A and B are shown apart, each in its own frame.
Chain A
Amino acid sequence: MKRAIFLLCAFLAAGLAAMPAIAGDEDHDPVSSSRRSDARRGEATVQILRSVAVTKTANLNFGALFASARASTVRVRTNGARVCGPGLNCLGTASAGAFAIAGIPGESVSVSIDDPTVTLSDGASHAMPVTLSVSARHLTLAGGNATVRIGGLLKVAANQPAGVYSGQYSISVHYQ
């Protein structure tokens, strides 16, 4: 019996000896002052989608004209219809310029003509200015696709020299 009491007392003493250290450590660990840490892994995500693609599908074409002694204009609307000004004879087929836009389905894009005034040249120092217009400045890519059309107003000088006149323009398309 005495031996059992001694063992219990020893166990009790060991337990009580541990208590002050725990009771005195209400917030911080007093045993070690070395730097410690906790760590977790955080998640990060991003969705990358394809850029918008623009492809020319038709040239802006004013057709053939017979110039006159009077300055005039020819307009090609964005729907392709041509309006000849007074004194001009318009022949052949006219067409609006067209671009196919492909991108993210359902996203909206803005369309702008980089320089809305271009000059057509016959390569022999004769020129004709064109003011361009766009069918829509904002489009939604339904199904990921849309078409934008370009019209223009061509100024024809009096007695404009005969020839084949051509020039270039560019458009920019951006997601909104």
Chain B
Amino acid sequence: MSQPGSTRLLLRLAMLTLLVSTASSAWAANPHNRPAIDEIRSISFGVIAASSASGTATLSPSGSLTCMGIRCLGGASPGLFAITGAKDYVVAILLSPARLRTARGATLDVQLTPSQNIMVLRPGNAKNAFSVGGALTVSSNQAEGSYEGSYLVSVEYQ
């Protein structure tokens, strides 16, 4: 049974259209592999003993902790993030300050510092890691408690 020429052309066009449509949908699901951030580990200043004097705890992005005027008892670790994206993207890393709070409302302010401000993404889908340190100021007779908070990590690119 032979099909008319116009019908065969119509079927071929329909199949090709379906293929094009499928390919477009796949690209739309992962549009351009743009840089994206993932948090791998949160930053922790560990355990600090308050005193009648104020002091500061400074945690470098590499993980070294320096405490002035207060007693740091260990357990500190820097934050860790990874950027994934297409190769050769140049991204700027920006961090906002954080305000940590206890359930009772006591607060502590933290200034955060990235291990690098600018990063060129490596080829492939490698995780481009960077770490985050910070400095917090503990006031005299700072209230006891477990302080938690968050900060905004953003990457800008063109």
A-B pair count, CB < 8 Å, reads: 175
Chain A nearest CB, measured from B117 CB (Å)? 14
Which residue of the partner chain, among A4, A39, A47, contacts B152 with CB atoms under 8 Å? A39
Please classify how large the interface on chain B is, using the bins under 10, 10 to 19, 20 to 34, 35 or more: 35 or more
B48 touching A47, Cβ below 8 Å: yes
A41 touching B150, Cβ below 8 Å: yes
Q: Does B20 contact A (CB under 8 A)?
A: yes
User: Nearest CB to that of A108 among chain B residues?
Assistant: B73
Please, which residues of chain B bring their CB within 8 A of the CB of A36? Answer: 34, 156-158
| Residues of A1-56 whose CB lies within 8 A of B | 1-2, 4-5, 8-9, 11-12, 15-16, 18-19, 22, 25-29, 33-52
B17 touching A49, Cβ below 8 Å: no
A48 touching B21, Cβ below 8 Å: no
Scan B126-158; emit 1 where CB is below 8 A from any A CB, else 0. 000000101010100111111111111111111
Q: Does A122 contact B (CB under 8 A)?
A: no
B73 touching A175, Cβ below 8 Å: yes
Please, which residues of chain A bring their CB within 8 A of the CB of B33? Answer: 27
B49 touching A5, Cβ below 8 Å: no
Q: Does B37 contact A (CB under 8 A)?
A: yes
**Residues of B bordering A, CB below 8 Å:** 6-7, 9-10, 13-14, 16-17, 20-21, 23-24, 27, 31-39, 42-52, 57, 71, 73, 75, 79, 81, 86-89, 95, 98, 100, 108, 110, 112, 132, 134, 136, 138, 141-158
